[in-house]
Structure 1
Amino acid sequence: MSCKTIMVHMDTSASANARLSLALRLARGFGAHLEGLFARFEPNPREFHVMGGTAAYYDTHRTLRMEQRGAIERLFRAEVSRAQIDGVWAVSEGDPVSAIMQRSRTADLVILGQANPDDPESYIADRFPESALLGAAGPVLLVPYTGRFESFGKRVLVAWNASREAARAVHDALPFILRAVHVTILTPEQSHASCEDLAAMLARHGATSIDITLLAPHAAESTGDALLNHAADGAYDLLVMGAYGHTRFQELVLGGATRTILSTMTLPVLMSH
């Protein structure tokens, strides 16, 4: 199994370069087509024009943002050429979240960045990563806003609770699991029996060096924190897990572990919903 179409979200945030670097390495490793989709928050010009003296400011601001977008596009095209991969640049029209969800329909993998509260340029929309994750058509690889992640996918940690979402994530992550040097299935005690079946399935696909470990959070530790602590202690460089959530009355509701991982992740996380 392999990824042949990868989409990476590009913007003017400080973490965009690291996200692009990882996307380029994955595209080259899989011999995949890479699409760079530029999407960011755009202020409504009417909100400027209704205020006296702000129209000129908006025009200057818009020119600057166009120059920034042009610089990111030139970087993307140069890096794609240098990596000698097939790539294309696209710019979202309208709502950026809807654009990313729509483009995900024809991608094997979507790469997004973690929201950085200290970088205004990383703001795309309210609860952007959550909305894109739950609305994507396939797996989403979320990249933390700090770090370069030169080592990726060699040691894979699978968060397993025998749910539909976890099973979806494992199947979506097979291209990475089959290339990993070591895979650990991390599970609460009640899911241990199904882990044997999961390990056998992965072995039949060709995965090697698989072990099963019980997740035992400390009393004051949440499941999400326990996952991240285990990943750090074992020097894992990819976490695979199901994303839990739903939309109800236009309000986004996420499971506790999903919410914790999205806000405090310390390694790339492949999620599927």
Structure 2
Amino acid sequence: MDHDFPGRRLTCVKVALLVVVHDEGTFRRIPMAYKTILVHCDASPKVGQRLTVASELAERYGAHLIGMHARPPLEAPIFFEGGVAMDSLFASYEASADADQAAALAAFQKAVKERRVPSHEWRVTDGFIDSELVIQARYTDLLVLGQTDPDAQTPTPSDLPEAVVLASGRPTLVVPHIGVRAPIGESVLLCWNASRESARAAADALPFLQMAKKVVILVVDPRTSPDGHGAEPGADVALWLTRHGVKVTVQRDVAADSDVGAVILSRAADIGSDLIVMGVYGHSRVREMVLGGVSRTLLASMTVPVLISH
């Protein structure tokens, strides 16, 4: 519908957002869901860990699952002679890239066959995986990556999760390379510090939180302030989540001289959490220098999947 105003025209578009259903005199909450999930597939021996999680989530939420593999460009040494030597180098690169792609595809196909995934597709791109994932992730609801595996001999960057979450604007689920017990999300630990990043993470994790049997909001070293925590740290976010049908409890803790990241991991183990949710802060251009210390600790020492948002 168009409306004319002096010097301008305003076009109104009707948008319908279904949040509740009125059913025989009662209101039913409609849980949120991830409908497009993108999982990074490389030739890591432990790629199956993240594929198991991604395919189970696709089945759970009725989501379209996308497996993505990137073929990195050939990077010849700076001091390298051309001719026959260059031909040999390119042939070696092609053979290695083909082998990695075949291994990644086989792992993806195996994972989707083992679950009742509604729909899936396989994508291969030419380029650096961090840049390619950032672009593709913008058209998905959830990105699934693997924790950096120091023993994996692949071209995957060691800081891939941090780089992608800072630049993509999408929630990223990082799966530990040691494996997980599936399904995840029955017991969730939500890290809360009343920041923009933690608010974004909580909103991005709503599909998990609404289906969880237990959600603990962890507040470490809270300080009451007009623009942060209220008089009761954690109470405001607990009330907001309760309106979404989330069953929550608030736990306040003190780090003292301990690392906050270590406190989070310890509390997650104490309450038996199978998923940690947290916001991360930093800048994608200089991520090595400004990524938060808590985020670094969790991504390096995680024993359960971590959902991060920026």
For the pair 1:241 / 2:278, whether they are aligned, the reply is yes
State yes or no: 1:120 paired with 2:153. Answer: yes
Shift of 1:207: 1.1
The correspondence for 2:255, drawn from 217, 242, 260, is 217
Q: Does residue 290 of structure 2 align to residue 258 of structure 1?
A: no
> In structure 1, the residue corresponding to 2:189 is in which secondary structure?
strand
- 2:41 maps to 10
- Map of 1:230 onto structure 2: 267
Of Structure 1 and Structure 2, the greater helix share is in: 1
Q: Which residue of 1 aligns with 2:143?
A: 110
Opposite residue 81 of structure 2, the aligned amino acid is V
Does the 8 Å contact 1:39/1:124 carry over to 2? Answer: no
Residue number among 23, 48, 61 corresponding to 1:30 in the alignment: 61
Tell me: CA distance 1:250–1:211, structure 2 relative to 1, closer, same or farther (3 Å): closer
Report the TM-score, using the length of structure 2 for normalisation: 0.80
**Is the Cα–Cα contact under 8 Å of residues 131 and 252 in structure 1 kept in the other structure?**
no
For structure 1, list consecutive stretches of 5 or more residues without a partner in the other structure: none
8 Å contact 1:39–1:91 — kept in the other structure? Answer: yes
Name the stretch that deviates more: 167-176 or 82-91.
82-91
1:199 maps to 238
Which of 154, 157, 168 pairs up with 2:200?
Answer: 168
Relative to structure 1, is the Cα distance of residues 217 and 205 closer, same or farther in structure 2, using a 3 angstrom cutoff? same
Q: Report the CA distance shift for 1:36/1:257 in structure 2 as closer, same or farther (over 3 A).
A: same
- 1:153-197 deviations in whole A, cap 9, x for unaligned? 010000000000000000000000001010000003324724112
Structure 1 vs Structure 2 CA RMSD: 2.3
Q: How far 1:72 moved relative to its partner?
A: 2.3
Point out 4+ residue stretches in structure 1 off by more than 3 angstroms: 40-43, 45-49, 51-55, 247-252
Q: SS at the partner of 1:106?
A: coil
- The normalised TM-score by structure 1 is 0.90
* Structure 2 unpaired stretches of 5+: 1-31, 224-228
**CA distances 1:88-140 after superposition (whole Å, capped 9, x unpaired):** 0001222221110000110000011111122222x423632221110122111
CA distance in 2, matches of 1:4, 1:249: 32
Tell me which residue corresponds to 1:97. Answer: 130
Q: Per the alignment, do residues 2 and 261 of structure 1 end up closer, same or farther by CA in structure 2, a change over 3 Å counting?
A: same
Equivalent pairs counted in the alignment come to: 270
When structure 1 is superposed on structure 2, of 58-67 and 43-52 the one drifting more is 43-52
